[in-house]
Amino acid sequence: MKCSVIILNWNGRALLADCLNALLPQCDASIEVLVVDNGSHDGSAAWLHQHYPQVRLLALPKNRGFSGGVNVGLHVARGDVLLLLNNDAIVEPNFIAAILAPFEQQPTLAASAGVLTFAHQPTIIASAGIQLYRDGVATDAGLLQPVAQLAQQPYLIWGGSGGAVAYRRAALADVGIFDEGYFAYLEDVDLAWRLQLREWQTMLAPQAVVRHIYSATGGEGSPFKDWLIARNRWRAILRCWPTPLLARDLALMLAYDGLACAQALVRRRWTTITGRLYGLRQWPQLRQQRQAIQARRTASINELDRWIQPARSPLAIWRENQALARLIKQR
């Protein structure tokens, strides 16, 4: 099975050596490594060309975001399996073998997801896939839990985080690649939805571990990241949630947003509000996309609903956010 590893880079020259030095020793002749440089202005492309000539470099003239940059790599990659890896991720030994193993075991598997840990706290999970809730929130499964609590063998999950996930080419040929309207954040949620709607399965490979420098590119808490997440939340909901589930859960989604906007008003964090408003205003353009996505659904509503967890209380969400902020400050 041929595999292409696609690493997206934007002004990440300081991160690439650690990323590539951990990855390349695990790659044999059946694995190609591509770095898509997203219009960096820190000399990343020239540095890569000089120091890592064995890596296939795709230098873009401008920043096309995560979705646009990765799509360039997906279009030119030659592998049967297309593995996405963040430039701020450092793979643990045996990562490649572990993340590819589920494909050998299940010939119809769509995706195999790795486990991201915090680089400065590698015993704690940053993401073990994507978890979906009835209020429309899609978050990192297992966040802040000990890695030791994970099962030893691969198991089914709803979707994989774009920071370390491998997709079967045939699955992407069926549902399409990333929607470039997201630019960055939650495009992996959209793709996970489209795979689920078509009954493609995703597994977590617990032995495929990467240490992740959390938000090294986007910047945790930056206004731009906040705006994108707020906008893209509604892009994913409007495109992907099947009508029966959307009708059932819309009140919870709006209640969540009401609380988020109230908190934003107190903090004078306007991007939380403007991002949501922009996302909702896109409905006329998204309606046709929604119709095309939902028309191809083969999974039953019951199948899809079994993955959606009850909404968490505002207090539980606040506690998790506070704990995450404290952990990030320890870097």
User: What are the residues whose beta carbons fall under 8 Å from the beta carbon of 60, sequence distance 6 or more?
Assistant: 36, 37, 38, 39, 69, 72
pLDDT of residue 108: 86
Domain ranges of the chain: 3-212, 223-329
pLDDT tens digits, one per residue of 255-288: 999 999 999 999 999 999 999 999 999 999 999 9
* Cα→Cα distances 212→15, 112, 157, 242, Å: 11, 18, 20, 33
pLDDT of residue 1: 84
Name the residue with higher pLDDT: 33 or 216: 33
Positive/negative CA dihedral, 246, 247, 248, 250: positive
Under 8 Å between Cβ of 7 and 32: no
May I ask the CATH architecture of the domain 3-212?
Answer: Alpha-Beta Complex (3.90)
Q: What is the pTM of this model?
A: 0.95
pLDDT of residue 216: 59
pLDDT tens digits, one per residue of 107-163: 889 999 999 999 999 999 999 999 999 999 999 999 999 999 999 999 999 999 999
Integer Cα distance of 152 and 129 in angstroms: 15
DSSP letters for 64-99: -HHHHHHHHHHHH---SEEEEEETTEEEPTTHHHHH
Residue 219 has pLDDT above 60, yes or no: no
